[in-house]
Structure 1
Amino acid sequence: MFFTYLRRELRRRRKAALVVASGLALGIALVIVVNSVSSGMRDAQGKVLESLYGLGTDMTVTKAAPPASEGGRERPRFNFDAQDGDEAQSSDIVMPQGFETLASSTVDEVGGQSGVATAVGGLSLSVIKVDGEFKPGEFKPREETANGGGGGGIGGPQGEVRGGGAAFDVNSYTVYGTDTTHLDLGPLTSSKITDGRTFKATETDAEVAVADAAYAKEKKYKVGSEVTVKGTKFEIVGIATADSGDAAANLYIPLKQAQTLSDSKDKVTTVYVQADDSQQIDAVKSAIQKNIPGTTVTTSADLADTVSGSLSTASDLATNVGKWLSIAVLVAAFVVAGLLTVSAVSRRVQEFGTLKALGWKSGRVTRQVVGEAMVNGLVGGALGIAVGLAGAYALTAVSPSLTAQLGAAAGGPGGGGGGGPAGGLVRAGGPGVPSADKAIEIALTAPVSASTIALAVGLAVTGGLIAGAFGGWRASRLRPADALRRVE
């Protein structure tokens, strides 16, 4: 009887039921879209941070380099030998990039802290290569240079030097020393090997390299090519493509080789840390800073605060404006659904009064009204989920591009002086030259998770209950006499 009466009443009042369901659908669809966009923002921001840290890294440990005026690293100096005749000259300067070096033992100290699952060291290097040649000038006697004149006289100049000079090209690139025994942590994990292979665990001191795809294309490197760094030839065994479109370094070589090239034996610039529990990152950070003085610990949350550009702006809009707009629309939808249900009950005074006169209890009448409101809520939820999924799909199909930019003073791998391992985001013109922020583009998606669908269903049920509560309260107050008064 309950369901038969319910079906007939909803069919008879299709327009009113559709209005209530549509209002709820609008609010639920907006919640789905906003939640999906927010999820897409988090994914995009995660890609930016992975391009700095690498997949799985929760925090990094570094030591900021002091300014040159306080004993910090000096500007590079190139020394060339003066030789007779045309002579090609080449010189490489290899130095740690961005940070003061830490002793390799720091990696073990960090790994021994409570809450640390894995700690891996890396050495970020900046290579400045100068190639060119000196060309000596030619001495021209005075009698050859004067127009019809004689010599320069007694004691005067007998000629002059003409021509000569020097022409040099300066090329800079980044090299990252990677611990080949722990390839599951660090910047290289944010890239995918698209040609060749990655390092083998046994290649701790081998003369092999992995090149970033963009750099390899620029220099026309391929698997099997040789690249020379400070007189040492490395064979390129793999080409890596960064997931975010910007790599941490141009070349990756074994850590020991990087230490040798930069005269940084048993030194690292960055310690990459993975915590046992992602909920305890702040506690692990505090423990490292307390037990290992002089270090700077930067978490992904710290770097997230420095991300700017349209990604940050859109994220703020989705988090703040979108959230409050969703709440406002939902509240309005619930209130309107409740008022419409009360209004419908008021128009059915004769009907409910007659039912009570026939023996229906107030509780039965209330359950009937709540049942109708629940069906309206579920229909609105189904419509809202459909519209929300369509909106999220359309947004993902369009994939608008957002720019992300990391502040140079972030204090993490991408900040501080000469930029860190995150060479793709923060480049430096060399030691002592201010680093420049480089924006990267991220395609926005709007993934819809099961939790978002569950939230939508919960809202639909809640909306139905709220509307039913309003209508049930009004119906329970009706008396059979009200129906008799309105019967003509």
Structure 2
Amino acid sequence: MKARDLIAETGSALKANKGKSALTILGIVIGITAVITMTSLVGGIRDALVSEMGMNAARAISIYPYNGSGINDDQLAAMREQLPDYEYLSPTNYGSAQEIAAPTTAEKLSASITGVDEHYFDVSGLKIAQGRAFTQSESAEGSMSVILDKQAVQKLFGSSNENPVGKIVTLDGTEATVVGVVENSALMGGGGGGNGSLNIYMPVSTVSLRFSSSGTGYQQIFGLAKQGVDVAKLTEQSKVAAAKILRILADQIDQELSVSSAQSVIDQMSSFMGAFQLLAGAVAGISLLVGGIGIMNMMLTNVTERIREIGLRRALGATRHDVTAQFLAEAIAITVMGGLIGTVLGYGLSMSLSGLVGGMVGGMAIAPSVSAQSVMLAVGICIAVGVIFGNYPARRAARLDPVDALRHQ
């Protein structure tokens, strides 16, 4: 039988049983819709999180001693000398202000302060939305400059759309000039902003001298690995070098020092997303199994109803292969149509749910991610379901004796 004739016969058979075909397709539609919806949403969440982290996220490494004494300038210089694979090693300190206010502030607010240098925003994944980052002189000289996040702008100036650059805020009675606004949260570390306090950034020297309770030592170092450097290997090298420079005993390293990379955070996130996708796939697989059983049931019914037709085809010269191909083509056509409908519905449903999911994971803008591979996989699964569950009815039809089939009433 020619392919054109096979397609025509398949279309005619499905049209003759529209209601039955539609109900059979429904099981496949549900399964593929679930697969596409979950994979596109999970992919969209992953892409949004990576985007929030920033372009340099995979190269960021954090060095954090637990002993509380911090890291001094000499130790930082030694790290820079012994670890040349870093593009930057950015010192960070933390402090707080009991009261932060602007001329329009109506309520009393406190602030968690992150002290950073001029390279911190390149390393951490923070993006400057308005204004600029700190200059080298501001970082070194203890300048009373401040960078706010969107929440702080909202609380201090009444609207997150306000441009506060150049305006004055007071921290525990001391004036500071706003030089910039960041649009997202840092990937690793950063000010806490907990207990209702605002999260702001100031030059690291300013925080060490005026707002830190731990003295002038740096509480954390953020590093940005050079392009092409093995981040996992550099993380281990950093742990060994930092322990040596900070004079931490070998058996105390895990208790007194934390060295972690943003790549590990990304890997953990990808692993979690992969596990979630696997679970969603298992649930969708059950739907496809039920749909496949429905297809087999329908095709077996078709064989029974069309015994005389099969006998007539065989009497007119159709081979067993032709009969098998016809019924198998019908099963595959049903599953492929279900797959295509499910793909469209899945993408539409993921678009509808993206806003809701984005609100649940921190107000991120999530765009569903449907890859060509996902669509091809869905179509491939549909064809496989059609072949597997349509094979037995097709072979049963092909094995019918033509003479007995023509006698069937």
- Per the alignment, residue 20 of structure 1 pairs with 24
1:180 to 118, 121, 131: 118
**Tell me, what secondary structure is at the counterpart of 2:93?**
strand
Counterparts of residues 61-80 of structure 1 (less than 5 Å):
61-66=62-67, 72=68
- Per the alignment, residue 223 of structure 2 pairs with 272
- Tell me the distance in 2 between the aligned counterparts of 1:129 and 1:397: 36
One-letter amino acid matched to 1:223: V
- Per the alignment, residue 342 of structure 1 pairs with 300
Deviation at 1:212, TM superposition (A): 2.6
Deviations 1:33-53 (A, max 9, x none): 222343355457658x84xx9
Pairing 1:326–2:284 present:
yes
Assess if the C-alpha contact under 8 Å between 2:44 and 2:367 holds in 1.
yes
How many residue pairs get matched? Answer: 364
2:36 to 21, 28, 32: 32
Counterparts of residues 155-194 of structure 1 (less than 5 Å):
173-181=111-119, 183-186=121-124, 189-194=125-130
One-letter amino acid matched to 1:101: I
- Decide whether aligned partners of structure 1 residues 304 and 17 sit closer, same or farther in structure 2, where only a CA change above 3 A counts: same
Q: Rg larger in 1 or in 2?
A: 1
Deviation at 1:389, TM superposition (A): 2.2
- Tell me the distance in 2 between the aligned counterparts of 1:235 and 1:336: 70
**Tell me, what secondary structure is at the counterpart of 1:101?**
coil
Assess if the C-alpha contact under 8 Å between 1:192 and 1:243 holds in 2.
no
1:124 to 88, 93, 99: 93
- Tell me the distance in 2 between the aligned counterparts of 1:345 and 1:251: 73
Deviation at 1:28, TM superposition (A): 0.5
- Decide whether aligned partners of structure 1 residues 361 and 305 sit closer, same or farther in structure 2, where only a CA change above 3 A counts: closer
Assess if the C-alpha contact under 8 Å between 1:22 and 1:383 holds in 2.
no
Higher relative contact order (CA 8 A, sep 6+): 2
Assess if the C-alpha contact under 8 Å between 1:121 and 1:268 holds in 2.
no
Name the % identity.
20
Deviation at 1:268, TM superposition (A): 5.9
- Decide whether aligned partners of structure 1 residues 219 and 26 sit closer, same or farther in structure 2, where only a CA change above 3 A counts: closer
- Decide whether aligned partners of structure 1 residues 118 and 338 sit closer, same or farther in structure 2, where only a CA change above 3 A counts: farther
- Tell me the distance in 2 between the aligned counterparts of 1:398 and 1:201: 42
Deviations 1:386-416 (A, max 9, x none): 321232122124457436xxxxxxxxxxxxx
- Per the alignment, residue 80 of structure 2 pairs with 108
Deviation at 1:331, TM superposition (A): 2.0
One-letter amino acid matched to 1:197: R
RMSD: 4.3
- Per the alignment, residue 475 of structure 1 pairs with 397
- Tell me the distance in 2 between the aligned counterparts of 1:298 and 1:59: 9
One-letter amino acid matched to 1:236: V
One-letter amino acid matched to 1:125: Y
Deviations 1:431-476 (A, max 9, x none): xxxxxxxxxx446857142243333223223223333323332233
Assess if the C-alpha contact under 8 Å between 2:93 and 2:218 holds in 1.
no
- Per the alignment, residue 371 of structure 1 pairs with 329
Pairing 1:240–2:182 present:
yes
Pairing 1:197–2:132 present:
yes
- Tell me the distance in 1 between the aligned counterparts of 2:47 and 2:308: 57
- Decide whether aligned partners of structure 1 residues 277 and 383 sit closer, same or farther in structure 2, where only a CA change above 3 A counts: farther
- Tell me the distance in 1 between the aligned counterparts of 2:109 and 2:350: 45
- Tell me the distance in 2 between the aligned counterparts of 1:39 and 1:447: 7
**Tell me, what secondary structure is at the counterpart of 1:190?**
coil
- Per the alignment, residue 214 of structure 1 pairs with 151
One-letter amino acid matched to 1:211: L
Unpaired segments ≥5 residues, structure 1:
67-71, 74-99, 132-169, 308-313, 404-440
Deviations 1:8-39 (A, max 9, x none): 22222222322222211111011122223433
Assess if the C-alpha contact under 8 Å between 2:335 and 2:385 holds in 1.
yes
Deviations 1:293-327 (A, max 9, x none): 344122447668999xxxxxx98995575343222
Assess if the C-alpha contact under 8 Å between 2:61 and 2:235 holds in 1.
no
| Structure with a larger share of its residues in helix | 2
Assess if the C-alpha contact under 8 Å between 1:54 and 1:185 holds in 2.
no
- Per the alignment, residue 167 of structure 2 pairs with 225
Deviation at 1:130, TM superposition (A): 8.8
- Tell me the distance in 1 between the aligned counterparts of 2:43 and 2:318: 50
**Tell me, what secondary structure is at the counterpart of 1:104?**
helix
Deviations 1:44-87 (A, max 9, x none): 7658x84xx99625553323333xxxxx56xxxxxxxxxxxxxx
Assess if the C-alpha contact under 8 Å between 2:310 and 2:323 holds in 1.
yes
- Tell me the distance in 2 between the aligned counterparts of 1:328 and 1:474: 26
Assess if the C-alpha contact under 8 Å between 1:55 and 1:185 holds in 2.
yes
- Tell me the distance in 2 between the aligned counterparts of 1:232 and 1:297: 35
**Tell me, what secondary structure is at the counterpart of 1:185?**
helix
- Tell me the distance in 2 between the aligned counterparts of 1:306 and 1:5: 51
Assess if the C-alpha contact under 8 Å between 2:168 and 2:176 holds in 1.
yes
Assess if the C-alpha contact under 8 Å between 2:28 and 2:291 holds in 1.
yes
One-letter amino acid matched to 1:214: Q
Unpaired segments ≥5 residues, structure 2:
101-107, 158-162, 192-198, 244-252
- Tell me the distance in 2 between the aligned counterparts of 1:171 and 1:13: 70
1:461 to 376, 379, 383: 383
Assess if the C-alpha contact under 8 Å between 1:209 and 1:238 holds in 2.
yes
| Structure with a larger share of its residues in strand | 1
Assess if the C-alpha contact under 8 Å between 1:350 and 1:483 holds in 2.
yes
Counterparts of residues 88-99 of structure 1 (less than 5 Å):
none
